[in-house]
Amino acid sequence: MTRLDTVVLPVAGNGARMRPATDAIAKELLPIYDTPLLQFALSEAAAAGAQRIVLVTRASKPGFGSYIEKLSTRPNSFLAGIDVEFVDQKEPLGLGHAVLCARARALPGPFGVILPDDLILGDPTLAEMGRAFDPERMKSLVAAQKVDRDKVGNYGIFDVGKDATVSQVIPARDLVEKPDPAEAPSQFAAVGRYVLAEDIWDKLERTGPGAGDEIQLTDAITALGALHGFRFSGARYDCGSKEGWFAATEAYRRTRLRAELTAAE
């Protein structure tokens, strides 16, 4: 397994799709049944072996520090021994810029990125990816999910070639940000988990604005080369939307109730 000593959590977004709730509370602190969304991401980072978790946030989003302090001081906390740090993203310049903001706090070696909005229930996805990442032949490993053709314009889409063998790890030639559905190279979308070689830092420094006039992480990943997609085992929910949040809450509620029933038998 490749060690992911650093895991970056970009959490500076304003949660526009979840308003008006996010006018009162950060979207990452909204509960999925009885557990704040952020806690799932922190737990997944810990399961991947993180020694340091860097939250890229902004000063106007309060609540993260106090919540993490409470988590850290619980008996047998999963955050015990993990250094949690905060970096301020002063301007909303895109995901690539948000990740780059963490550079000065990152430990040497490959690192992970978790987008907390993308909740994946099941086995911890970033740990799965760490086991699959081969630094001898990969520069990046990006979580991949097959989506409907009419949804590809919402994602970065892998160019896997017409004759690619579909397996858990998918070699890819390119990652195209939000293509026109008629021109998309595949239906495999990049979703919110990444394992990145530390070479990405220099690429991000040189990456200019792309789609949406933002610094796109996908542009730097493509420029880096040796790109692979990873078909994860869990079920993904887009908790940046009301529909995804509700579906995740129902799925997690059922999981918790099954666990409670099993424990009572």
- 8-64 pLDDT tens trace: 999 987 767 767 666 667 888 989 998 999 999 999 999 999 999 999 998 767 788
Tokens (6 digits) for 261: 């029933």
Mean pLDDT of 198-202: 95
- Which residue, 210, 38, 128, 226, is CA-closest to 218? 210
Contact (CB, 8 A) for 110 and 141? no
Which residues lie closer than 8 Å to 243 by C-beta, 6 or more apart?
none
Distance, CA of 116 to CA of 31 (rounded, Å): 12
Q: How open is the CA angle 233-234-235, to the nearest 5 degrees?
A: 135
The dihedral sign for the CA sequence 20, 21, 25, 28: negative
Distance, CA of 193 to CA of 115 (rounded, Å): 7
pLDDT-derived band at 209 (thresholds 50, 70, 90) equals confident
- The angle, 0 to 180 degrees and rounded to 10, between the axes of the packed helices 125-132 and 37-47 is 30
Record the pTM.
Answer: 0.92
Residue percentage of the chain with pLDDT more than 70: 92
Averaged confidence pLDDT in the chain: 89
Q: 54 in helix, strand or coil?
A: strand
Which pairs with CB-CB distance under 8 Å and at least 24 residues apart come from 202-207? 204/96, 204/97, 204/99, 204/100, 204/103, 205/100, 207/96
Using the predicted structure, report yes or no on whether residue 84 has a pLDDT greater than 90. Answer: yes
Contact (CB, 8 A) for 230 and 132? yes
What pLDDT digit, counting tens, does each position of 130-170 carry?
A: 999 999 999 999 999 999 999 998 888 999 876 566 678 98
Residue with tokens 């950060």: 26
Q: What is the pLDDT of residue 215?
A: 87
Distance, CA of 121 to CA of 264 (rounded, Å): 23
Distance, CA of 45 to CA of 105 (rounded, Å): 16
